[in-house]
């Protein structure tokens, strides 16, 4: 199943799998890892472009919420498949009122508000002190920015993503705290994915499509039995769904622009000083086992 490029899908990934929008599904399997079995990984091909696809929340519906995704198994499995670059998509809520439901955002930074997740492969080891001036790969982000320009899609090329624990939604007071801290978006999935990918020297960059206004940003009455209990209206649901359906085109164009790029980013050298000092070898599997 080797491929240099992978997509980790968020909400709606299972719908795209069902619709066959990514092309020919050549194979699918779960990868055994030291951290358990990965989610099913699909290998797609269309118009000469090959990539791997993983739906983090399940294959049939939203069956696994963010706190319970086996992030370490998924990232390990992609590394096992020789993936070098990962594009992640997710559907966070809006803190910055300059954004609207249905907009695309390419976050440039992140605030971690999660608790009790498995953040590292290097438990009980003296390695993993990795700088995160840019938590997302600059090269991959630049390719995504070019993708949106070439597709003539409206997007925001910066944003601070606040990652919360979940599965509950945030309180208005929490959202206000995140707003004061400089947060633009609030979601539950990019951590620890981005940190784990960096530990294994893979590039990682997210695309977000905005699904709703966070609690307290737009006053909405409680509506029982509806999505987010009334935090999103019918018109906004249509806008978010339309944006989600654009992902196959966005992903194919992104891979077209990225697949022949030489990796000159710092991601591939995240563990270099440990190799240089002889603490670890070039065999990444030996870093963990």
Alpha carbon of residue 80 to chain centroid: 18
The chain-wide mean pLDDT, for the chain, equals: 91
The larger pLDDT score, comparing residue 69 to residue 48, is at 69
Q: Is the pLDDT of residue 221 over 80?
A: no
pTM for the predicted model, two decimal places: 0.94
Query: What average pLDDT does this structure show over 61-65?
Result: 83
Q: Is the pLDDT of residue 13 over 80?
A: no
Q: What element of type H or E holds 160?
A: strand 160-164
Strands 104-105 and 203-209: antiparallel
Query: What average pLDDT does this structure show over 30-57?
Result: 91
Per-residue pLDDT of 114-151, as tens digits, reads 999 999 999 989 999 999 999 999 999 999 999 999 99
pLDDT category at 25 given cuts 50, 70, 90 is confident
Q: Is the pLDDT of residue 1 over 70?
A: no
pLDDT reported for residue 270 = 96
The larger pLDDT score, comparing residue 219 to residue 21, is at 219
pLDDT reported for residue 14 = 66
Q: Is the pLDDT of residue 288 over 90?
A: no
Least confident of 22-31, 176-185, 225-234: 225-234
Name the nearest CA neighbour of 47 among 256, 245, 235, 273.
256
User: What's the half-sphere exposure (Cβ side, CA atoms, 13 Å) at 244?
Assistant: 22
pLDDT reported for residue 264 = 93
pLDDT reported for residue 241 = 87
Q: Domains in the chain, ordered, with CATH?
A: 5-287 (3.40.50.1580)
Q: Is the pLDDT of residue 210 over 90?
A: yes
> What percent of the chain is modeled with pLDDT above 90?
73
Q: Is the pLDDT of residue 2 over 90?
A: no
Per DSSP, the residues of 40-106 read PEEEEEETTEEEEEEETT-SSSS-S-GGG--HHHHHHHHHHTT--EEEEEE-PEE-STT--TT-EE-
Indicate the burial class of 153 (C-beta count within 10 angstroms; 0-12, 13-18, 19 or more).
middle
The larger pLDDT score, comparing residue 94 to residue 25, is at 94
Query: What average pLDDT does this structure show over 25-37?
Result: 93
Per-residue pLDDT of 145-175, as tens digits, reads 999 999 999 999 999 999 999 999 999 999 9
pLDDT reported for residue 262 = 87
pLDDT category at 20 given cuts 50, 70, 90 is low
pLDDT reported for residue 23 = 78
Question: Is the preceding peptide bond at 192 cis, omega within 30 degrees of 0?
Answer: yes
Query: What average pLDDT does this structure show over 183-206?
Result: 97
Q: How far apart are CA 284 and CA 268, in angstroms?
A: 12
């Amino acid at each position: 199943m080797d491929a240099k490029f992978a997509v980790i899908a968020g909400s709606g990934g299972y719908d795209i799998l069902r619709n066959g929008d990514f092309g020919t599904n050549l194979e699918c399997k779960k990868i055994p890892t030291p951290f358990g079995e990965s989610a099913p990984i699909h290998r797609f091909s269309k118009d000469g472009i090959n990539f791997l696809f993983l739906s983090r929340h399940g294959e049939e519906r939203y069956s696994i919420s963010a706190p319970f995704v086996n992030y370490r198994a998924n990232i390990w499995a992609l590394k096992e498949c020789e993936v070098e670059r990962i594009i992640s998509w997710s559907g966070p809520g809006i803190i910055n009122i300059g954004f609207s439901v249905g907009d695309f955002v390419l976050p440039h930074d992140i605030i971690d508000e999660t608790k009790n997740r498995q953040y590292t492969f290097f438990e009980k080891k003296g390695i993993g002190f990795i700088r995160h001036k840019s938590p997302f790969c600059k090269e991959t982000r630049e390719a995504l920015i070019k993708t949106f320009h070439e597709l003539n899609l409206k997007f925001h090329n910066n944003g601070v993503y606040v990652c919360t624990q979940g599965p509950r939604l945030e309180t208005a007071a929490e959202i206000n705290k995140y707003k004061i801290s400089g947060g633009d978006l609030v979601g539950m999935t990019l951590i620890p994915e981005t940190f784990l990918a960096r530990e294994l020297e893979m590039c990682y960059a997210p695309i977000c499509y905005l699904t709703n206004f966070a609690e307290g940003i737009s006053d909405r009455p409680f509506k029982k039995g509806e999505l987010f209990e009334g935090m999103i209206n019918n018109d906004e649901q249509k806008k978010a769904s339309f944006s989600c359906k654009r992902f196959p085109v966005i992903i194919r164009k992104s891979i077209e622009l990225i697949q022949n790029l030489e990796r000159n980013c710092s991601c591939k050298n995240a563990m270099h000083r440990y190799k240089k000092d002889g603490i670890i070898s070039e065999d990444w599997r030996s870093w963990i086992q």
